[in-house]
Amino acid sequence: MIFRDRNGGSLGMWKDSLTLRDIQLKIDTLYVGFLVPDPANFFKSRLFSKILNPGDVFVFPIGLIHFLYNVGHKKAVVFGTYNSQNPGLIAIPSSIFASEPPIMDDILAKGFQLNKTEIAQLGKKYS
């Protein structure tokens, strides 16, 4: 079971590679969603999202990138559960921009269609 208490915050982009995850919002309002790859186009995804109010429940499927973002005015209180003791959490941004050893800037710049200066700025945020 997890518990988060955030004020105007975000849990960013995550992937639970090994488990199913569900959440129930107790206080405030959250915008949540997950991305499903488009089988017809490798470079596209479909976003499934919802605004959650207190008492709402949302399920994140196994292995899909997902996020939670507090759109309310208080600290959000969320109770979440996993169907395993090892959810295999992967924080997408820090996995990419703070890996050890680091991924070469050229690779990141081409992959994200950014220049090396922008990649360096992102790297500083996650290191």
Domain ranges of the chain: 2-87, 92-126
**pLDDT tens readout for residues 30-79:** 899 999 999 999 889 999 999 999 999 998 888 888 888 888 888 888 87
Question: How far apart are the C-alpha atoms of 62 and 117, rounded to whole Å?
Answer: 35
Question: How far apart are the C-alpha atoms of 62 and 18, rounded to whole Å?
Answer: 6
Topology (CATH level 3) of domain 2-87: Jelly Rolls (2.60.120)
**pLDDT tens readout for residues 22-32:** 677 787 888 99
pTM of the predicted model as reported, rounded to 2 decimal places: 0.73
Asked if residue 66 belongs to a known ligand binding site, the reply is yes
